[in-house]
């Protein structure tokens, strides 16, 4: 690494999975004497509401690059789990979706456990200073810096603000005049202890998804296999929802869920009996595509849901946020190594945004489409042709998300900035 001739103070707003992974990636790639990272999180402690999150193979490669794969694999119970799409009524398998070769296609983890790993690692590596209880209300551009104003009256200054403040990002609002869009579905979520069902649960090594008219039901193990994460999705036009505001703490009623899933495979109904009487009930939202992520002459960049909030039908939102941090970290390294040739704005626009935006937007768009696949139209199972079409639709749809080489994308964009520049190390190494 050449001696850096510039240093950069970086403020990451939002300490969710996207913001914390960005801190770790930037710290891993950049000379620590050239950067100072502060993470500002509105909550009083770092915690995640909700249950499981599935990390695709693309995400796992980044996690491996920053040295956290073994811990993540252990958290997921060191089990290789395949996706298995099934008929809602008989439970018969429609298609099994494996990754190429022997690698896991995804690892399911408990969100809170994964977040705790990131917080611990940031502290152990002294990668960033974490500031809880710091809700950012506004930012202003003053001379060469961005000034951040917080709800408690405090202020901070940074040369680069990374907006990782989620789907309702204040910083995005500063530059884009759009609203979150209703995702036409609700999801009931909950956790069931595996001990309670081990005598009859038949699908240990699968993430089964029962696909039915207007509904789908997904299950995967988390917490080293000690809990099953349940997601019960129901399509709705929203008219029956009293309050269409998004909330991650809203609770539904298990009895409504039982009625909604009464015609599903008995395995599904047995699982529902083990959910809390008032399971979490989330209304799904995403954001319209936005074509600009870099502002204030390169002093502000959007990341994660702030840039590309998507509905969760491909389990890919966290993965896309993590890819953002991975590419951003490399851009900052290359900029700081030679800040005289190109500006920070050049790097962020021509490399970070140009590599990440088209891919993230494709995942956003296809996530909406997959919602339709996963709640099959009511006549799908009456017609063998429609069932075959559904199978084809599901079979390969995740492969490009899991397998596209984001290092190649980075290297190509980087070469256009630094003619003759050497390639980076690849994160295409095998995971196993």
Residue ranges that bind ligand FAD, judged by CB under 6 A: 13-19, 40-43, 53-54, 135-136, 164-166, 170, 187, 282, 304-305, 312, 315-319, 321
Q: Which is nearer to ligand FAD, 246 or 338 (CB)?
A: 246
Phi/psi for 329 (5° steps) reads -60, -40
Give the integer Cα–Cα distance in Å for 351 and 344. 10
Give the integer Cα–Cα distance in Å for 230 and 428. 31
Q: Which is nearer to ligand FAD, 63 or 145 (CB)?
A: 63
* Helix, strand and coil percent figures for the chain, each rounded to 5: 40, 25, 40
- Residues 206-227: b if buried by 16+ CB within 10 A, e if exposed: bbbbbbbbebbbbbbbbbbbeb
**Beta strand pairing call for 35-40 and 8-13:** parallel
Least distance (Å) from ligand FAD to the CB of residue 2?
32
Q: Which is nearer to ligand FAD, 170 or 299 (CB)?
A: 170
Q: Which is nearer to ligand FAD, 77 or 319 (CB)?
A: 319
Give the integer Cα–Cα distance in Å for 392 and 97. 11
Q: Which is nearer to ligand FAD, 8 or 306 (CB)?
A: 306
**Is residue 51 classed as helix, strand or coil in its secondary structure?**
coil
Q: Which residues pair with 211 in a beta bridge?
A: 87, 216
Least distance (Å) from ligand FAD to the CB of residue 412?
25
Least distance (Å) from ligand FAD to the CB of residue 17?
5
Report residue 134 as tokens.
Answer: 């710091």
Least distance (Å) from ligand FAD to the CB of residue 204?
19
Q: Which is nearer to ligand FAD, 51 or 355 (CB)?
A: 51
Mention every residue, 6+ apart, whose C-beta is less than 8 A from residue 156. Answer: 11, 38, 40, 147, 148, 150
Least distance (Å) from ligand FAD to the CB of residue 10?
15
Least distance (Å) from ligand FAD to the CB of residue 173?
10
Least distance (Å) from ligand FAD to the CB of residue 52?
7
Q: Which is nearer to ligand FAD, 191 or 321 (CB)?
A: 321
Least distance (Å) from ligand FAD to the CB of residue 337?
27
Q: Which is nearer to ligand FAD, 81 or 321 (CB)?
A: 321
Q: Which residues pair with 130 in a beta bridge?
A: 39
End-to-end CA distance of the chain: 29
Give the integer Cα–Cα distance in Å for 57 and 330. 20
Q: Which residues pair with 300 in a beta bridge?
A: 161, 295
Q: Which of 214, 272, 221, 201 is nearest to 82 (CA)?
A: 221
């Amino acid at each position: 690494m050449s001696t850096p001739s510039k240093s950069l103070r970086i403020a990451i707003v939002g300490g969710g999975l996207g913001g914390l992974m960005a801190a770790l990636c930037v710290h891993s790639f950049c000379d620590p004497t050239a950067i100072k990272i502060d993470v500002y999180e509105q909550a009083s402690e770092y915690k995640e509401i909700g249950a499981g999150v599935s990390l695709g193979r693309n995400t796992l490669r980044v996690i491996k690059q920053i040295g956290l794969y073994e811990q993540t694999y252990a958290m997921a119970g060191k089990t290789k789990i395949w996706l298995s799409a099934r008929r809602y009524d008989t439970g018969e398998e429609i298609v099994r979706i494996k990754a190429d070769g022997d690698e896991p296609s995804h690892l399911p983890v408990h969100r809170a456990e994964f977040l705790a790993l990131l917080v611990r690692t940031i502290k152990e590596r002294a990668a960033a200073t974490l500031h809880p209880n710091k809700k950012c209300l506004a930012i202003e551009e003053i001379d060469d810096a961005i000034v951040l104003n917080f709800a408690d009256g405090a202020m901070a200054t940074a040369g680069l603000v990374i907006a990782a403040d989620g789907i309702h990002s204040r910083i995005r609002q500063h530059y884009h005049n759009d609203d979150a869009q209703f995702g036409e579905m609700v999801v009931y979520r909950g956790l069931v202890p595996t001990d309670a069902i081990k005598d009859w649960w038949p699908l240990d090594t699968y993430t089964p998804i029962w696909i039915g008219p207007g509904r789908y039901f997904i299950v995967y193990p988390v917490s080293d296999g000690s809990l099953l994460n349940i997601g019960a999705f129901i399509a709705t036009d929203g008219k029956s929802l009293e309050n269409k505001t998004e909330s991650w703490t809203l609770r539904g009623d298990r009895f409504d869920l039982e009625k909604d899933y009464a015609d599903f495979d008995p395995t599904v109904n047995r699982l529902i009996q083990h959910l809390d009487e008032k399971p979490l009930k989330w209304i799904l939202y995403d954001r319209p595509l936005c074509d600009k992520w870099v502002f204030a002459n390169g002093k502000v960049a959007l990341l994660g849901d702030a840039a590309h909030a998507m509905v969760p039908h491909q389990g890919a939102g966290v993965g896309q946020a993590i890819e953002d941090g991975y590419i951003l970290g490399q851009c900052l390294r290359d900029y700081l190594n030679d800040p005289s040739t190109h500006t920070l704005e050049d790097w962020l626009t021509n490399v970070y945004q140009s590599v990440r935006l088209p891919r993230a937007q494709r995942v956003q768009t296809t996530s909406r489409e997959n919602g339709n696949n996963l709640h099959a139209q009511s006549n799908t199972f009456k017609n063998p042709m429609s069932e075959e079409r559904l199978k084809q639709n599901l079979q390969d749809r995740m492969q490009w998300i899991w397998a596209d080489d984001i290092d190649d994308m980075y290297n190509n964009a980087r070469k256009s900035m630094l003619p003759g520049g050497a390639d980076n190390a690849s994160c295409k190494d095998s995971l196993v």
